[in-house]
Structure 1
Amino acid sequence: MTSSARERWAVGPRGPLALVNAQRVDHPQAVWPVPGTWAPSVGGLIVTAAAGDGVVVDGVPVDGTVLVAGDEAVVPSTVAFPDGFAGTVAGRTLRVWDPASEAIARFAAIDRFPRSDEWVGSGRFTPARDVDGLEARGDVLDAAGDPLVVAGTVSTTVGGAAVTLVAVRSAPFGGAARLQLIVQDATSAVPEDDSHSSYSMGRFLFVTDPGTEADVELDWNELVLPPCAFSYQYACPIPPPENRLSVLVTAGERHPIDRDGAVFH
């Protein structure tokens, strides 16, 4: 994805800068800043609202109690609220999106390190079935604290250091299977106002999944920021110990910056 496409994604109606609340619903409760009373249910959440509240689920105004199907449903529900707000359900969490959010108004660009061919290399992917105990490990977690599916390892050299990185399964992109490396390097420890810094919690590198043991291209210029770099409404996945690099990887995305040139957070 190009830099301009990434910036369009960031400010899109379902981009990270539009997310203004992500509230877990374990019992009947209100959710800021939208109307209705929300409660957990099989398959998603239920919302109770009056016609005057202006809640619309799957194109139908709510006047009573309605199921809002979650993202894992065959057909997830669409939810519209007054003032342009929208909602989606992930598990028991209601995500509220504002396409006119203050964060979108502040955003200027995604700052990047200069592209360099020095950061284009290769590695050797070994599937998890060929690495004893790798599939059973429980310390590779997503942002919600749930175990990720470990696909295998990628052995390579980064900044002169030999490393073996843990790769997890990623959602397909453009119809092609992908691996994801959740990495943190020494640029994460550099102060934000330094030209060698990057987001403190780490970055993602997506790699084509060969489906078997094989060499893979590693273009570190393609390192991207996680959604949590843009919004506190996202939790950050923690890089596994093997993926915490001691070298400076001065490649890829650094920080989202605002119109004053300051790092978002």
Structure 2
Amino acid sequence: MTDLAEHAAGRDRWATSARGPLALVNAQRVDHAQPVWPVPGQWAPAPGGLTVTAVPDDGVLVDGDPVDGTVFVAGDEAVVPSTVVFPDGLAGTVSRGTLRVWDPASDAIARFDRIARFEQSAAWVTSGRYTPGEPGGAASVVDAAGDPLEVAGHVETTLDGAAVRLLAVRSAPFHGVPRLQLIVQDATSALPEDDPGSTYSMGRFLYLDDPGEPADVALDWNLLVLPPCAFSYQFACPIPPAENRIPVSVTAGERHPLDTAGHVFH
């Protein structure tokens, strides 16, 4: 099994990092010229990104240069995305017409204590079988923005006596290794006030290396992680496909983010 203590520490650091989910204070779709809270400038849509109009006193820097007039801000999809810096330590990124504003000193970061997790258990490491789908097959999963995700294939395994066939989507490579992602809900997915033993109601993610061909795979459910939307309402949640709604309680992996008072963030 993976060293869960090291994994957990890395996840807690990610949650509170300058580009972690707790640092995101606004994610605003820009489809016409408009201001964006809480940063200066007038923002407008443009092919491949946005434009910002500001004066030097606004303190907006794009790619290291002060903005004086109207400047193009390249989105994350560009070969070289733009860097945007605002006063008071705030930063901005652009993705598919949305300006995201990050605050490394946000109130949410100050309130965060830890991610609540189940105890690690070897019983939640299962063997499975990965079967790739047909190239170009129809996608039946969308991401949080409503855009289709590439369906890679299916993973079959047995969880607490229940045989499941889970749809896997292709994820971004991790340390150069191609990965698959399972977007799942299970019987623990519930509001915490309804079930003290719950996990985040919208579901969790499990990642595994993509073998690229039919193969046996190991599934370590202790590594189930929360989606970014569990930490901040600024993120939308992808909806787990129907076949990924597991009929048993998977008492493994991350449960909820907790604040310093021991309360679930939301």
TM category (shorter chain) comes to over 0.9
How many positions carry a matched residue from both structures?
A: 261
In the alignment, the residues of structure 1 paired with residue 112 and residue 88 of structure 2 have an alpha-carbon distance, to the nearest angstrom, of 21
In the alignment, the residues of structure 2 paired with residue 123 and residue 190 of structure 1 have an alpha-carbon distance, to the nearest angstrom, of 29
Q: Secondary structure at the match of 2:134?
A: helix
In the alignment, the residues of structure 2 paired with residue 190 and residue 61 of structure 1 have an alpha-carbon distance, to the nearest angstrom, of 46
8 Å Cα contact 1:166/1:181 also seen in 2: yes
1:243 Cα deviation (Å)? 0.2
- The aligned residue for residue 188 of structure 1 is 189
In the alignment, the residues of structure 2 paired with residue 196 and residue 179 of structure 1 have an alpha-carbon distance, to the nearest angstrom, of 28
- The aligned residue for residue 96 of structure 2 is 91
Instruction: Could you tell me which runs of 5 or more consecutive residues in structure 1 were left unpaired when the two chains were aligned.
Output: none
- Residues 1:20 and 2:37 aligned together: no
- Residues 1:157 and 2:162 aligned together: no
In the alignment, the residues of structure 2 paired with residue 10 and residue 257 of structure 1 have an alpha-carbon distance, to the nearest angstrom, of 11
Match of 1:136 among 135, 138, 144: 138
8 Å Cα contact 1:88/1:95 also seen in 2: yes
Match of 1:112 among 110, 117, 121: 117
- The aligned residue for residue 85 of structure 2 is 80
What's the CA shift string for 1:214-242, capped at 9, x where partnerless?
Answer: 01110000000000000000000000000
What's the CA shift string for 1:5-55, capped at 9, x where partnerless?
Answer: 100100000000000000000000000000000000011000000111000
TM-score, with length taken from structure 1:
0.96
In the alignment, the residues of structure 1 paired with residue 262 and residue 214 of structure 2 have an alpha-carbon distance, to the nearest angstrom, of 44
8 Å Cα contact 2:191/2:200 also seen in 1: no
- The aligned residue for residue 69 of structure 2 is 64
8 Å Cα contact 2:62/2:82 also seen in 1: yes
Q: Secondary structure at the match of 2:169?
A: strand
In the alignment, the residues of structure 1 paired with residue 246 and residue 208 of structure 2 have an alpha-carbon distance, to the nearest angstrom, of 18
Q: Secondary structure at the match of 1:104?
A: helix
- The aligned residue for residue 41 of structure 1 is 46
Q: Secondary structure at the match of 2:192?
A: coil
- The aligned residue for residue 227 of structure 1 is 228
1:60 Cα deviation (Å)? 0.1
- The aligned residue for residue 171 of structure 1 is 172
- Residues 1:253 and 2:250 aligned together: no
8 Å Cα contact 1:192/1:198 also seen in 2: no
1:189 Cα deviation (Å)? 2.6
8 Å Cα contact 2:59/2:87 also seen in 1: yes
Percent identity over paired residues: 72
1:193 Cα deviation (Å)? 7.3
TM-score, with length taken from structure 2:
0.96
Root mean square deviation, CA, Å: 1.3
Q: Secondary structure at the match of 1:197?
A: coil
- Sort the Cα spacing of 1:118 and 1:195 in 2 relative to 1 into closer, same or farther, 3 A: farther
Q: Secondary structure at the match of 1:167?
A: strand
- The aligned residue for residue 4 of structure 1 is 9
What's the CA shift string for 1:65-97, capped at 9, x where partnerless?
Answer: 000000011110000001111000001000000
1:196 Cα deviation (Å)? 2.1
In the alignment, the residues of structure 2 paired with residue 42 and residue 141 of structure 1 have an alpha-carbon distance, to the nearest angstrom, of 23
1:191 Cα deviation (Å)? 3.3
Q: Secondary structure at the match of 1:68?
A: strand
- The aligned residue for residue 3 of structure 2 is none
Instruction: Could you tell me which runs of 5 or more consecutive residues in structure 2 were left unpaired when the two chains were aligned.
Output: 1-5
In the alignment, the residues of structure 2 paired with residue 40 and residue 27 of structure 1 have an alpha-carbon distance, to the nearest angstrom, of 6
- The aligned residue for residue 205 of structure 1 is 206
- Sort the Cα spacing of 1:253 and 1:52 in 2 relative to 1 into closer, same or farther, 3 A: same
8 Å Cα contact 1:17/1:104 also seen in 2: yes
Q: Secondary structure at the match of 2:178?
A: strand
In the alignment, the residues of structure 2 paired with residue 191 and residue 203 of structure 1 have an alpha-carbon distance, to the nearest angstrom, of 15
Letter in 2 for 1:20: V
